[in-house]
Amino acid sequence: MPAAVATIGYEAKTQGEMIAQLKAAGVETVVDVRAVAASRRPGFSKTILAASLEAEGIGYEHLRGLGTPKAGREAARAGRTAEMREIFEAHLAEPEAQVQLARATELARGRKIALLCYEAAACDCHRAIVAERVCEALDLPVKDL
């Protein structure tokens, strides 16, 4: 079993910097927890990101159901982290989110994963909540990259 579940935000990184950081941390699979896996930042939209990670020997899985609903994304952009957390916690109770949370936990059980989203600081991002839930289920610590 892996020693930790990693999280990573690409806000302040190039794709190359992020991949180097993932490789240095021994990440085997990136679990994309964005509701919308598109990005204005070059190299971070789903198709190109998945291909680039695969070329470096890192798997990729998009779990859209673990993304923040639009209202939560708007709250996060406005700096209302507590509101975003409340919206996302309610979202996590939905069946699709529960299924995808179980999938993330299953992935983390067998390999080192990194939960990916945009925000540089995990404490400002819903990925911290996903990481908490996965780590509680597996009794693992969280490592923010």
Q: Where are the domains of the chain?
A: 5-144
d(CA 62, CA 66): 9
The answer, yes or no, to whether residue 1 has pLDDT greater than 90, is no
CB 107 within 8 A of CB 140: no
Quote the pLDDT of residue 43: 94
pLDDT tens digits, residue range 39-80?
988 999 999 999 999 999 999 999 999 999 999 999 988 989
Quote the pLDDT of residue 95: 96
CATH number of 5-144: 3.90.190
The answer, yes or no, to whether residue 107 has pLDDT greater than 70, is yes
Quote the pLDDT of residue 7: 97
The answer, yes or no, to whether residue 22 has pLDDT greater than 90, is yes
Per-residue pLDDT band at 110 (split at 50, 70, 90):
confident
